[in-house]
Amino acid sequence: MELHTREWGSGDRLAVLVHGIMSDHRTWRLVGPALAGRGYRVLAVDLRGHGASPRGTGDTALERYPLAAYAEDLLESLPAGVELAIGHSLGGIVLADAVERLKPARAVYVDPAWRFVQTGMDPRVMAQLRHLTREQVVALSPTWEPADVDDEIAAAAAWDEESALALADQRSDLPARPAVPSLVVLADGSMLVDAASAEELTARGFEVRTVPGTGHTVHRDDPAGFLAALDGWL
């Protein structure tokens, strides 16, 4: 499947940004231009069922949104020669599945949802997030700028919530090893990567950093802190 992409910059180094569930390229509103200012050409995809990309096909949610298909879509939609790849949450699963074939020079996983089953996440509850009001988004994310709230609401309206329901019958786990030099950037008190998992990732060869005071959407909660956490990786 050919994915919709948003592009910033025209540098000779290519960066790829992969969003989390319910979101789309708009989640990178500040990160994309910041990377472009550092000499990158930046491509942010909309995963299948998100943003302006096509919906999955099949008779069931699982047939329309199998985890393996997201990685295939990513590989089909991106040019070769990726310098930097960043995946958030579901995007972390997708990037980890694609990384050996995508072969970026460096990969960054932002609060990745590798063990979403183990956290007790209920896909039915996730699907209901599509209907959050503006007031609820502001209450959940009080540090966001109004433009981020607008983008969150617009992305949720464009999202096929069956992509969340499909997760009920699937699972993923921590990668066995980093296929390329890899950084994991965590929320403060991450609900998806607990302290034991972070230690396990470190033992497996990942570098792990935390951005203080941030929730799951690290790059939106503290854009400057997130970019600072990428020191040495850009």
What are the mean pLDDT values of the chain's consecutive 10-residue runs (234 residues total)? 97 97 97 98 98 96 96 95 96 97 97 85 78 92 95 96 91 95 97 96 98 97 98 95
* Coil vs helix vs strand at 16: strand
Delimit the domains of the chain by residue range: 5-229
Segment holding 153, helix H or strand E: helix 146-157
- Structure letter (DSSP) for residue 52: T
User: Contact 21/126 with Cβ under 8 angstroms?
Assistant: yes
The whole-number pLDDT of residue 128 equals: 79
Whether this prediction's pTM lies above 0.75 is answered by yes
Chain segment 91-107, per-residue pLDDT in tens: 999 999 999 999 999 99
The whole-number pLDDT of residue 16 equals: 98
- Residue 140 buriedness (CB in 10 A; 0-12 / 13-18 / 19+): middle
Considering the domain delimited by 5-229, tell me its CATH architecture. 3-Layer(aba) Sandwich (3.40)
The whole-number pLDDT of residue 119 equals: 72
d(CA 8, CA 230): 19
Chain segment 156-180, per-residue pLDDT in tens: 999 999 999 999 889 899 999 999 9
The whole-number pLDDT of residue 162 equals: 94
Residue that is written with structure tokens 């000499």 in the block:
39
Length of the chain: 234
The whole-number pLDDT of residue 221 equals: 97
Chain segment 207-224, per-residue pLDDT in tens: 999 999 999 999 999 999
